[in-house]
Amino acid sequence: MPAAIVARSLTKRYRDQLAVDAIDLEVREGECFGFLGPNGAGKSTTMKMVYGFSPVTSGVLEVLGLDVRTRAREVKAQTGVCPQEDNLDPDFTVRRNLEVYARYFGVAAAEARPRADELLAFVALQEKADAPVMSLSGGMKRRLVLARALLNRPKLLILDEPTTGLDPQARHVLWDKVRDLRRRGTTILLTTHYMDEAAQLCDRLVIMDKAKILVCGSPAELIAEHARPSVVEVWQPPDALVTWVRARNLPCELVSERLFIYPESGDTLQREILGRFQVDQLIARRGTLEDVFLRLTGRDLRD
């Protein structure tokens, strides 16, 4: 599979701030590739370099076979972007936002209107075509930004937190669209703070922290490698239970009022605990991408 993006020792420095620190990356053509990481990890900065918005400080960055440092215009022509912050034009209607943007990409006026309408239908906003952007809800704006990102029929689509703040219905609609685009061969870069979203949509992903990539792999690989297979969580565990778990040398963590235990078999441990202790809330579950994330990046809040 040819590479859609190749980064070698890619670095971005903002004055005294190292935002991306010598990362290596290879995104395959046609895959949905995720970026996870705490606030300030460097995800958006990496995306901005990929779509030619933020100059590379040092290192190699090839996008769609082109060196971004010298061929940014060609890269932009084949890339669609949903930036983290909505930057729609509030003075225009929904359709007009798309038409104006289409012109930036050199889409002929006669073609801009039908293409805008086709994309409004794609994101289920056709009924809002003549509404001012200001009157849209947050979720509708996100969908409009997605439609806008597709105006140039991009080979590479960059989605920086496309579903932040959306209700579950709108998230599912957006996920369906992303899957649809991926099926049609679009390469997708996605950042998200929703671990379930990454696990569902991404073929592979990286977890970044403090400007570096910590790990790269498919969700299943990362879970197998970095999470424990089963987890038993107990809320407000009685002291006797904590003592019992520790005496048995079971790997565990006590985080605020929750005890996380990592046994060989969650079902067996669950039965044992329920037979011996009075606990109000207990769940036994499989390891998840969220466990991987918290294990690798810690539980502390970022600045």
Interface residue list for ligand ATP (CB under 6 A): 14, 17, 19, 37, 39-45, 84
Instruction: Closer to ligand ATP by CB, 43 or 128: give it.
Output: 43
Q: How many residues does the structure list for the chain?
A: 303
Nearby residues of 277 by Cβ (< 8 Å), 6 or more positions away:
237, 238, 240, 241, 244
Q: How far apart are CA 137 and CA 151, in angstroms?
A: 21
Q: How far is the CB of 92 from ligand ATP (least distance, A)?
A: 27
Question: What minimum distance in Å lies between the beta carbon of 210 and Mg ion?
Answer: 14
Q: Is the dihedral of CA 243, 249, 255, 259 positive or negative?
A: negative
Whose Cβ is closer to ligand ATP: residue 50's or residue 150's?
50
Q: Which residue sits closest to Mg ion, CB atoms considered?
A: 44
Which listed option, Mg ion, ligand ATP, none, makes contact with residue 59 (CB within 5 to 8 Å by class)? Answer: none
Whose Cβ is closer to ligand ATP: residue 44's or residue 152's?
A: 44
Place of tokens 């006797």: 240
Question: Residue 54 or residue 126: which is nearer to ligand ATP going by CB?
Answer: 54
Q: Are 266 and 230 in contact (CB under 8 A)?
A: yes
Distance CA(229)–CA(150), nearest Å, equals: 39
Shortest reach from residue 152's CB to ligand ATP, in Å: 24
Which region among 43-51, 59-67, 122-130, 230-238 touches Mg ion (by CB under 5 A)?
43-51
Least CB distance to ligand ATP at residue 199 (A): 18
Nearest approach, Cβ of residue 41 and ligand ATP (Å): 4
197, 266 contact by CB (below 8 A): no
Residue 12 three-state SS? strand
Which of these segments, 70-78, 84-92, 126-134, 149-157, binds Mg ion (CB under 5 A)?
A: 84-92
Q: How far is the CB of 20 from ligand ATP (least distance, A)?
A: 7
Helix axis angle for 239-247 and 266-276, nearest 10°, is 130
Question: Which residue from 11, 44, 79, 97 is in contact with Mg ion, where contact means CB under 5 A?
Answer: 44
Burial of 174 (0-12, 13-18, 19+ CB in 10 A): buried
Q: Which residues bind Mg ion (CB under 5 A)?
A: 43-44, 84
